[in-house]
Structure 1
Amino acid sequence: MLKDDLTPKDPHDRLFKRVMSDEANVRQFIKEFLPKDISSQIDLKEMKLIPTEKVKGYNKYYMDIAVECYISDTKGQLYFVFEHKSYPDPGVLLQILSYMTVTWDEQRKKNVPLTPIIPVVIYHGSSSWNVTTHFQGQFQNIGESIKPYIPEFNYVLVDLTQIPNDEIEQKAKSTPFLMASLLLMKLVALHDIEGIIRIAVIIKLSEEERIILILYLFYTLDVDQDTMQRIVKELGGEELMPSFAEKLIKQGEERGKIEGEKRGEIKGTIIGTIKGKQDLLIKLLRRKFGLSSSDEKIIRSVTDEAKLDAAAEAIFDAKSKEEVLKLLGQ
């Protein structure tokens, strides 16, 4: 196994994929966050998710999701790209064009009609979005006589940083996990700690969803011990993950601070030790799949922190405990 395979997935990517893997959340997002002249033309009942990694020849972008649907009675797609960088990336336009051309090439080879694709860019970075929303806008001093020979398309921009918090709450109130995730992704990028704590107080989620958000905040926030403790408490961390919360509160009891210098002392205290990582992984696996004594022994035998991190990150996307244990080299 390559070392890169042991690196935990980007926490923004994992949360985005987890939220948008639920078709109810996707329907709500399309209905409330896309322009009405587009959302009103989409048949939300007949839509379904398409795994982009199955598109042959396409260099998969980590933060993309495709949806097959009927747009004005015509079969088509919505292609979602999630931009989490702290700065806008002009390369997103080429990414969208790449997906379009590979998808249409596959359809041509299958001798089926080409379907329209509406790109949607979701942004939550701390800098203002200043990337042109149409492809030809990338070219400087392009003459009118040349434009007909250059591809052109627009994308829908959903800039979370420009949508007031109460508007996000209102638009996504019927899908609490979508609401909480969109708000937290926005507030993390803006480093709005009080806003994060307020959201943690008001949301009503399942145990698994709350744990996912705790881990997301844990991996993305760089805050002091007391602040993280407040957030974990408001999200119910002490009930759901008592060993996790205990390590958070009793900072000095854990050995080693491997990640401490990079991610702050409190993070190094909780997950910077081998034993702490083993404890957390065992706790989460036992809650989701159940765990035998032999499984626990396997985890206790692993001292490679990168493997333990990768397994902890993967657990909520895994369909079986064997998928997680495989990351430990078992």
Structure 2
Amino acid sequence: MTEITNPHDRFFREALADPKVASDFLRYYLPGEITELLDLSEAPEPMKDSYVDPELRTYFSDLLYKVRLRGERDAYVYLLMEHKSYPDRKVCYQLLRYMTRIWDNDLRDLDNLQPIFPVVVYHGAATWRLSDRLQDLFDELPDALRPYTPDFRYWLCDLSSYSDDELKGEITLRVAVMALKYIFRPELPARLHDIFRLLHEVISQPTGLRALEVLLRYFSVATDQVTGSDLRRAVEETFHEEGEQTMKTIAEQWIEEGMKRGLHQGFVEGQEMGLREGLQRGLQQGLQQGLQQGLQQGLLDGIRLALELKFGFDGLALLPEIARLEDIALLRAVHEAIRFAETPEDLRKVYQKM
């Protein structure tokens, strides 16, 4: 799978990673005549490859599922999600390119082609008024040439066209669709409580807590319409007594993720430095320095997220001071202290004393 290059891409992939959620998306957001063809008693099989051109990955994400048709045959559902705030009239041609790449694999592996149902998932602010047919990209196409010119149509899933009451499926799917629907819209701050409220009945389950974590990460990096303080307040108000503990748990998970990311980065940097040295001594030194830098950066990433979620902008104001701390043990103590500090000043006292 290609590297995730933008927050919409990561959120889209994580939201549809659960087979039940993916099945519900196909069941409720494709046209009825297509879902009648699908045997959704079997979960769709996600294919690992991405077919989007590297230079377009900032604007598009894609997911390919192999599905079972009623009649014991296989087919594909290809989802191309456009993350721009305005529609792109070339999307039909881009779909054709990606579909031929999928068929290239079929011809290589199966020696025949399997049908593809192409879906464009759109969540931009502007209304989608473009044609869904490939041949409409031609300014003029004589009738005599039409039979010799490729043509197909795609299914448009415009999330902004659904009312909140029309959103269906697993709770985590409805939450994801609402988040995507409002991420570019000025109503997002007013919809935070409605989005979080959907998760209330599943927040005690691991899938619910994970969905909330993914949602908070998405909102924190994909929009400037809400702040960390807005998110923290909305969670605490929605989940009442468990809200504060929920935020602490998520903050700890982000810190752990940051540390793991830092360890991986440090290992890679250390290897590269060691290879350049060409000597065992260089490798050991490189690994040590890389791991040190990676751990430090990973801890700082986690601390930044935890500070914003717990204290908002007042907490982020401490980050320049904390970033000057080079001792890993001290940074660990700081991120541990975030759990118990009542105010940013309480946290400052911790590392100033140490």
* Fold agreement, TM-score > 0.5: yes
Alignment of 1:241 with 2:247, yes or no, is yes
Taking the TM superposition and a 5 Å limit, the aligned residue runs for 1:223-302 are 223=225, 227-234=230-237, 238-242=244-248, 244=306, 248-249=310-311, 251-255=313-317, 273=320, 275=322
The equivalent residue for 1:51 is 48
Higher helix share: 2
Taking the TM superposition and a 5 Å limit, the aligned residue runs for 1:64-143 are 64-73=62-71, 74-143=73-142
Alignment of 1:15 with 2:17, yes or no, is no
Alignment of 1:179 with 2:184, yes or no, is no
How high is the sequence identity, in percent, across the aligned residues?
26
In 1, Cα distance between the equivalents of 2:210 and 2:312?
24
Contact conserved, 1:66 with 1:78, CA < 8 A, in 2? yes
In 2, Cα distance between the equivalents of 1:140 and 1:93?
15
In 2, Cα distance between the equivalents of 1:178 and 1:274?
40
Specify the structure having the higher radius of gyration (Cα): 2
Could you tell me which runs of 5 or more consecutive residues in structure 2 were left unpaired when the two chains were aligned: 252-305, 333-354
Higher relative contact order (CA 8 A, sep 6+): 1
TM-score, normalized by length of structure 2?
Answer: 0.64
The equivalent residue for 1:30 is 26
Secondary structure at the counterpart of residue 137 of structure 1: helix
Judging changes above 3 Å, is the alpha-carbon distance between structure 1 residues 255 and 100 closer, same or farther for their aligned structure 2 residues? same
Secondary structure at the counterpart of residue 103 of structure 2: helix
Secondary structure at the counterpart of residue 179 of structure 1: helix
Secondary structure at the counterpart of residue 122 of structure 1: strand
Given residue 141 of structure 2, which amino acid in structure 1 is its aligned partner? I
The equivalent residue for 1:326 is none
Work out which of the residue numbers 210, 214, 217 in structure 1 matches 2:219.
217
Contact conserved, 2:199 with 2:212, CA < 8 A, in 1? no
Taking the TM superposition and a 5 Å limit, the aligned residue runs for 1:139-158 are 139-158=138-157
CA RMSD, Structure 1 to Structure 2 (Å): 2.9
Contact conserved, 2:64 with 2:76, CA < 8 A, in 1? yes
Judging changes above 3 Å, is the alpha-carbon distance between structure 1 residues 150 and 211 closer, same or farther for their aligned structure 2 residues? same
Secondary structure at the counterpart of residue 143 of structure 2: coil
Given residue 121 of structure 1, which amino acid in structure 2 is its aligned partner? V
Given residue 85 of structure 1, which amino acid in structure 2 is its aligned partner? K
User: Number of matched residues?
Assistant: 255
In 2, Cα distance between the equivalents of 1:33 and 1:179?
11
The ranges of structure 1 where at least 4 consecutive aligned residues each deviate by more than 6 angstroms after the TM superposition are: none
TM-score, normalized by length of structure 1?
Answer: 0.68
In 2, Cα distance between the equivalents of 1:122 and 1:106?
24
Shift of 1:25: 0.7
Given residue 130 of structure 2, which amino acid in structure 1 is its aligned partner? V
Secondary structure at the counterpart of residue 52 of structure 1: coil
